[in-house]
Each structure stands twice: as structure tokens, then as C-alpha cells.
Amino acid sequence: MDNGLVEKILNKSGKEKILIVLLIGVLLLVIAIPVKSDKTGGYVSGSDTYKTSDEEISDYDVYMEQRIEKILSQVDGVGKVNVMVTLENTDDTAIGGVVIVAQGGDNGSVVSNITSALEALLGIPVHKIKVLKMS
């Protein structure tokens, strides 16, 4: 800061000093307040995009698919794997079903391992999980 400005502020009367300090405090509070988002969407800090809940749910689909692919590709016998996740409805993140296409999808033991892993990880019943052989 400019020393002349500081001296002018220090030479002000008591009421003016208090007013200046309060204004600086309010300014700092306004700058420091974080941007909040609600369930229907909101501003994502650090980017210039505004996300709707449909976009957030679409991101959730992709996120879950990538995580499932990553973990299943490490299971012995699965090989290369592709995953598709569907949701119960558009305004919830409850998983409605999962389709797995894996190189080892023709091996009953591998299919059983994949199915039980997804059942445990996602908490969905076996009839909502389908494992297919990759061509």
C-alpha cells in the first residue's frame, strides 16, 4: 500500500477509521464467500460452465463406468472390458442395471466373479447385471 494513504487513514477521526475498517471487512467477506450449488445444479468453481442435474447424472454414469472397468480389468480371466451403467431415473443416482462386455465373458467362473463383484460393490440384485462375451 502507499504510505501516504496509510497515513491519511491513520490521521482520520475515530468514526471514520471505524467506518473504513468495517468497509474493508465487508469487502473481504464478500470476496471470501464460496459459491454454493444446490441439487438442481449450480456453478462449478474453477470453470465457466453451469451444470444441470442431467449433466451431473451423465457425469455420474461415466464415472461409475470408468471405475467398474478399472477394477474388473484387474480380475484374472476378465481381459479387456467395456461397461454400461443405467440409472433408475433421471433425477437419482441409483443404479438400475449394468451390462459388462468382457473378453472372458464366455467363462462361467469369470461371469460368476464379475456378477458377485458388482452385486457387492453396487448393492444391486443379480438380475440387473448382464455379462456378455466380447467379440
> Which DSSP string do the residues of the chain spell out, in sequence order?
--HHHHHHHHTS-HHHHHHHHHHHHHHHHHHHPPPP-BTTEEE-TTSS-EEEHHHHHHHHHHHHHHHHHHHHTTSTTT-SEEEEEEESSTT---EEEEEEEETTTT-HHHHHHHHHHHHHHH---GGGEEEEE--
Beta pairing, strands 129-133 & 95-102:
parallel
More confident residue, 84 or 49: 84
User: For the segment 68-101, what is each residue's pLDDT rounded down to a tens digit?
Assistant: 999 999 999 999 999 999 888 766 778 889 999 9
Please give the average per-residue pLDDT across 35-49, as a whole number: 46
pTM: 0.57
CA distance readout (Å), 135 to 67, 81, 89, 112: 22, 11, 31, 19
What 49-57 contacts at long range (C-beta under 8 Å, 24+ apart), as own/partner pairs, is 53/90, 53/91, 54/90, 57/87, 57/90, 57/91, 57/93
| Dist. CA 37–CA 31, nearest whole Å | 17
Please give the average per-residue pLDDT across 42-59, as a whole number: 51
Which of 36-40, 59-63, 98-102, 119-123 is predicted most confidently? 98-102
pLDDT at 90: 65
| Dist. CA 50–CA 41, nearest whole Å | 7
Question: Is residue 41 pLDDT above 50, yes or no?
Answer: no
Please give the average per-residue pLDDT across 92-116, as a whole number: 91
User: For the segment 124-135, what is each residue's pLDDT rounded down to a tens digit?
Assistant: 999 999 999 998
Q: At 15, is the pLDDT very low, low, confident or very high (cuts 50, 70, 90)? A: confident
Question: Is residue 6 pLDDT above 50, yes or no?
Answer: yes
pLDDT at 17: 78
